Amino acid sequence: MPGEEGKVDWYALSKELHRFYGGKIETIPKVPVRRVKDFAIWYTPGVAEPSRIIARNPDESFELTSRWNTIAVVSDGTRVLGLGSIGPEGAYPVMEGKALIFKFLGGVDAVPLVHRARDPEKFLELLENVEPSFGGINLEDIESPKCFYLLEEARKRLEIPVWHDDQQGTAAATLAGLINAVKLVGKDLRKARIVLIGAGAANVALYRLLKAYGVDVGNVAVLDSRGVLHPDREDIDKLMVRNPWKYQIAVETKGAGLRPGAGPGEALVGADIVVAASKPGPGVIKKEWVAKMAKGAIVFAEANPVPEIWPWEAKEAGAAIVATGRSDLPNQVNNSLVFPGVFRGVLDVRARGITDEMAIAAAEEIARYAEEKGLREDYIIPTMEEWDLYPRVAAAVAAKAVEQGLARRTTTYREELERAREIIARVRAKYEKLWESGLIPKPPVDYERG
């Protein structure tokens, strides 16, 4: 079956290498230290002068310290990958892996910050308390609907960019894929009939981006496990209290013309697009449902490790374009295409926040990059190996931050493109030198066998 990983036991290999290396990231100096007297510059007594300057104007911390390029990857461990609520210690390897990707693809220094503050207000208080140490916050692996409240409130309370990758990252990557998919089938995304299966972090954020992009929300049906979100659904009053984000969708979309509680089979009749971000399949989306979609149907089945419907099954049912969340299948919808460049851009302009418009700018740049390479049914979105994408995303986001008045430092698209290219290239060059010199030890197993 396509996608089988052969004889490699990725779990065992990962465990062995994590134990061998003792984690994935470290902190090393970036300034010259050639003699003991150099510490008089970097520490006492010389450091007193930068401290005095920052005390008078805290924004100088973005110029005189590493804060300008440092973010926190923050999680309470309540919804980790496909593992569920495994606690902060269990979440740490994932946050550390995220930090590795931030550095390698975006040149961003990221610090894993896992904690036990499960209460939303205590969580927010923690973010407010550590804000002076960071240039941005990446929220990660937090249970729904708490994640929606945390993102909304943190964006209001903090004067640095706050991003929830399970929401904005996945939504922006999905939007990028949809922008190009509709081009191949000759449809208008803003007028398309769209069904979102699953009303968790990714699809609630996608709905918000689609609305901001100009999509007619009256054509968007959003389904949770009880059917389409509809203002006349029997649990609507409970939703208003327990999940106001679902409630808002129900009120705004009016169920996209479907009856209250209609299921996916009914919702997909005549639909142009379905985006599923629900539970692993196969069989969550049935072939007979796809067969009833409009001609030129677009199917995004993003659950991992097994998509809601296998791509070949969707194709057999008549789908024109299919995307999944898997790296071993065509058209991987991958939030790693988004967050490294987004943070590179916002950090370089010392942004005060990240807006939906900035996420859309990232999605449009990703879509434009793939279109320039040449769109095909099996290539509607770039892959992580296309390194030159990330500086372009950074430039698009930085320019939008300046346009929206959220940047402490102004720049142009072209200026940021060159700056981001230089920063990311320097990180990769440093890594290559460390690897080639043996300062990063060679692993005790055949690392290339997979």
Q: What three-state secondary structure class fits 80?
A: strand
Q: For residues 100 and 215, state if they share a domain.
A: no
The DSSP-derived string for 122-161 is HHHHHHHHHGGG-SEEEE-S--TTHHHHHHHHHHHH-SS-
Do 51 and 111 share a domain, yes or no? yes
Residues 195 and 141 in one domain: no
Does the residue 285 lie in any domain? yes
CB atoms inside a 10 Å sphere around CB 37: 8
Peptide bond connecting 231 to the previous residue in cis, omega within 30 degrees of 0: no
Written as one letter, the residue type at 289 is W
Record the tokens describing residue 342, joined without a space: 């987004």
- Same-domain check for residues 234 and 310: yes
The pLDDT assigned to 2 comes to 39
Domain boundary among 97, 131, 160: 160
Residues 148, 201, single domain; the answer is no
Torsion of CA 248, 251, 253, 259, to 10 degrees: 130
- Whether residue 286 is contained in a domain is answered as yes
- Which range of residues forms the domain containing residue 76? 24-160
Query: Strands 227-228 and 220-224: what pairing?
Result: antiparallel
Say if residue 145 is in the same domain as residue 258. Answer: no
Q: Give the Cα separation of 44 and 282 in Å (integer).
A: 61
Cα 317 from Cα 381, distance rounded (Å): 23
Burial of 31 (0-12, 13-18, 19+ CB in 10 A): exposed
> Number of structural domains, the chain?
2
Residues 50 and 104 in one domain: yes
Kindly state whether residues 214 and 115 are assigned to the same domain.
Answer: no
Is 222 inside a domain boundary?
A: yes
Give the model's pLDDT for residue 9. Answer: 85
In a domain, 329, yes or no: no
**β-sheet bridge partners, residue 84:** 80
DSSP code, position 78? S
221: in domain: yes
425 within a domain of the structure (yes/no): no
Say yes or no: 156 and 174 in one domain: no
Q: Are residues 214 and 125 in the same domain?
A: no
Looking at the fold, whether 209 and 124 belong to one and the same domain comes out as: no
Minimal CA–CA distance to 139: which of 212, 75, 188, 87?
75
Check if the beta carbon of residue 301 is closer than 8 Å to that of residue 323: yes
The answer to whether residue 149 is catalytic is no
In a domain, 80, yes or no: yes
pLDDT of amino acid 449: 53
Please tell me the distance from the alpha carbon of residue 208 to that of residue 376, in angstroms, as a whole number.
Answer: 27
Q: CA 277 from chain center: how many Å? A: 14
Assess contact for 33 and 73: CB atoms under 8 A.
no
User: 318 with 179, same domain?
Assistant: yes
The active-site residue out of 21, 30, 37, 98 is 98
Residue 402 lies in a domain: no
Question: CA torsion, points 191, 197, 203, 209, in degrees to nearest 10?
Answer: 0
* The pLDDT value given to residue 163: 97
Which parts of the chain register pLDDT below 70? Answer: 1-7, 447-450
SS3 category, 378 = coil
* Residue 43 annotated in active site: yes
Which stretches within 374-408 are classed as H helix? Answer: 389-403
Distance between CA atoms of residues 359 and 363, nearest Å: 6
CATH code at position 103: 3.40.50.10380
Q: Pick from 324, 358, 375: which residue ends a domain?
A: 324
pLDDT at 10: 84
**How many angstroms separate the CA atoms of 198 and 226, rounded?**
10
pLDDT for res 1: 33
pTM, to two decimals: 0.95
Q: What is the pLDDT of residues 15-42, one digit of tens each?
A: 999 999 999 999 999 999 999 999 999 9
Query: Which letter does DSSP use for residue 325 in this model?
Result: S
The enclosing H or E element of 197 equals strand 194-197
Last residue of a domain, one of 266, 289, 324: 324
pLDDT at 448: 63
What CATH number does residue 190 fall under?
A: 3.40.50.720
Q: Which of 15, 21, 43, 295 is catalytic?
A: 43
Nearest in space to 177 (alpha carbons), one of 42, 71, 286, 273: 273
Burial class (CB in 10 A: 0-12, 13-18, 19+), 275: buried
pLDDT (0 to 100) of residue 5: 45
